[in-house]
Amino acid sequence: MQNLPSNCVQTARRQLDNSSRLLRNMNHEHRILTIPGSLNTRDLGGLPLDGGSKTQFGRIVRGPGVDHLAQPGVDALINQVGITRELDLRDMQSGRLGSESLLANQVEERHHIPANDPHVIDDLPRFLTHDHNWDHGGFYLGLLSDIGKMSSIFGLLSDDSERPTYLHCSMGKDRAGMVSATILSAVGVERQAVVEDYALTERDAQKWYEQRIANSEHARKLFESAPRASLRGMISSAPVIMDKMLAGLDEKYGSPADYIRTLQNGDAILKGLRRKLLDA
């Protein structure tokens, strides 16, 4: 099995190590879930709030796609974690197999609400053919500006169903990371903790790469022929990315909470998110 070029992983890790914040003040291990056959899966509970207290466990879990997740992993999500609802944020192309997964056919409720249009995925091969300058933070801000899509996504996550939700995209870094960070920031989680949560994805970059090329011949050809700098940029979850997104929300809307208020039924969504993640 091919490894991710070592300099890609090493550079990504240097970016994280150079951050004065990353994992310096918090231990996230109790939030990271061990799901057989899956990676980068963690509970949004246990994160510190401004002024004290922490978010509640068992309400929202973020992670990667589950198209190839076998029964042991599905059992862990449903029977051990307690997941009863799946929210797939992938577009219609990258998420085309989602409804056929074992989780989709066993979870009580499934929703597919794309956070992006398919052309974003169509552009991926083009970006990976040259040293593309990835602007993930700007990309997230662009997605968040689609009020219609985001109102549906955040509206579902804030409802009063009390269903523990598995929130995912493909790697669990970009679309799921964007939505998770916005939610956490809006309900008052310390910004440092939000950025650290996003950056934790780097821990599984190598294993994710191995899984992708093992499960997809198309991905193997695409990734192995890509310039290392472009591949490195694609998988990066450096803290500066999330810093940029959150700063952008502050600049345009006032704060992530104020951003949520601009959504359709935004006040009700914000209230619902606070109830879901903060109320015991």
Q: CA nearest 201: which of 182, 173, 220? A: 173
Residue 25 has a pLDDT of: 62
Residue 27 has a pLDDT of: 83
CATH topology of domain 6-278: Protein-Tyrosine Phosphatase; Chain A (3.90.190)
| Whether pLDDT at 13 is above 70 | no
Q: Which residue has the higher pLDDT, 1 or 225?
A: 225
At 235, is the pLDDT very low, low, confident or very high (cuts 50, 70, 90)?
confident
Contact 134, 234 (CB under 8 A): yes
Q: Which residue has the higher pLDDT, 22 or 202?
A: 202
Residue 88 has a pLDDT of: 96
At 160, is the pLDDT very low, low, confident or very high (cuts 50, 70, 90)?
very high
pTM flag (> 0.85): yes
Q: Which residue has the higher pLDDT, 118 or 140?
A: 140
Torsion of CA 113, 100, 83, 158, to 10 degrees: 10
DSSP 34-71: --TT--S-EES-SPBBTTS-BPPTTSEEEE---TT--H
Strand order in the sheet with 109-112: 42-43, 60-63, 165-168, 85-88, 109-112
Give the position of tokens 């070592």.
Answer: 6
Residue 268 has a pLDDT of: 98
